[in-house]
């Protein structure tokens, strides 16, 4: 199995998509959206190298322990790590977990790409949030979405666009482990602005692509 460069992992969260999910942030994004919430996740260096098998094992452990409904792949840019992402997504679906992916590319841009792994990843996604984050168009109505230009594609019937969960308020999750604080969800950026940033702060801010 191949390795993946990973920026952050939250084994169980309700702030990165419907129901309880494991969220995996890839390290590295070729795009440069102004106002990107995760600038530390943009370089393709950094983060930690994980074997995909270990990521899958962690996912299955969280399924058993937390009864997660699915996984969310974020970034960074998951499609820039498609070879690893497709293996994780296929393993999730094989184990009856839903797959949600946030991408800074539009669906049409992805469909026009020649790489087979891009198409394999698209085929393994239930929910795709697409398009670059636009800080001039902040989203205030749709939960889990960063800017109004971004679209939610229900690529399989697994999730229901009419589910009221899409219109509930966004949530922010803060975890304290020892001397490390981690934050994920929306509006993480605003919340972080309220604190004096600890040296050990590890941000799990949602990229909102």
Q: What angle do CA 198, 173, 100 make, to 5 degrees?
A: 120
Question: Of the listed pieces 8-16, 73-81, 179-187, 198-206, which binds ligand SF4 according to CB under 6 A?
Answer: 73-81
CA 32/CA 100 separation, integer angstroms: 22
Closest CB 33 distance from ligand SF4, rounded Å? 3
Closest CB 102 distance from ligand SF4, rounded Å? 7
Question: Of the listed pieces 74-82, 108-116, 162-170, 189-197, which binds ligand SF4 according to CB under 6 A?
Answer: 74-82
Structure tokens given for 145: 């979405």
Site string for ligand SF4, 8-47 (x = CB under 6 A): ---------------------x-xxx--x-x--x------
CA 170/CA 145 separation, integer angstroms: 9
CA 127/CA 74 separation, integer angstroms: 12
Nearer to ligand SF4 (CB atom), residue 31 or residue 60: 31
Contacts to ligand SF4 from residues 110-169, by CB under 6 A: 132-133
Closest CB 66 distance from ligand SF4, rounded Å? 26
Angle of the 82-94 helix axis to the 52-66 helix axis, nearest 10? 30
Question: Of the listed pieces 43-51, 70-78, 117-125, 183-191, which binds ligand SF4 according to CB under 6 A?
Answer: 70-78
76 part of the interface to ligand SF4, by CB under 6 A: yes
Nearest one of 127, 131, 150 to 139, comparing CA atoms: 150
Nearest one of 9, 153, 29 to 88, comparing CA atoms: 9
Other CB atoms closer than 10 Å to residue 81's CB: what's the count?
Answer: 25
**Residues in binding contact with ligand SF4, number by CB under 6 A:** 15
Residues that bind ligand SF4 (CB under 6 A): 29, 31-33, 36, 38, 41, 75-77, 104, 132-133, 207, 209
């Amino acid at each position: 199995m191949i390795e993946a460069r990973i920026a952050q992992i939250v084994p169980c969260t309700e702030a990165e998509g419907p129901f309880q999910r494991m969220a995996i942030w890839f390290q590295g994004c070729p795009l440069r959206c102004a106002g990107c919430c995760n600038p530390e996740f943009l370089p393709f260096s950094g983060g930690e190298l994980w074997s995909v098998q270990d990521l899958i094992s962690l996912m299955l452990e969280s399924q058993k322990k937390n009864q997660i409904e699915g996984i969310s792949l974020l970034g960074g840019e998951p499609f820039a790590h498609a070879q690893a992402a497709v293996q994780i997504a296929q393993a999730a679906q094989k184990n009856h977990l839903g797959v949600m992916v946030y991408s800074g590319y539009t669906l049409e841009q992805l469909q026009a790409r020649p790489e087979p792994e891009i198409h394999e990843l698209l085929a393994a996604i239930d929910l795709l949030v697409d398009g670059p984050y636009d800080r001039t168009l902040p989203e205030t109505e749709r939960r889990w979405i960063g800017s109004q230009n971004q679209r939610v594609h229900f690529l399989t019937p697994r999730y229901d666009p009419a589910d009221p969960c899409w219109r509930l308020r966004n949530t922010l999750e803060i975890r304290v482990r020892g001397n490390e604080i981690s934050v994920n969800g929306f509006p993480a950026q605003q919340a972080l602005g309220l604190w004096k940033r600890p040296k050990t702060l590890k941000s799990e801010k949602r990229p909102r692509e």
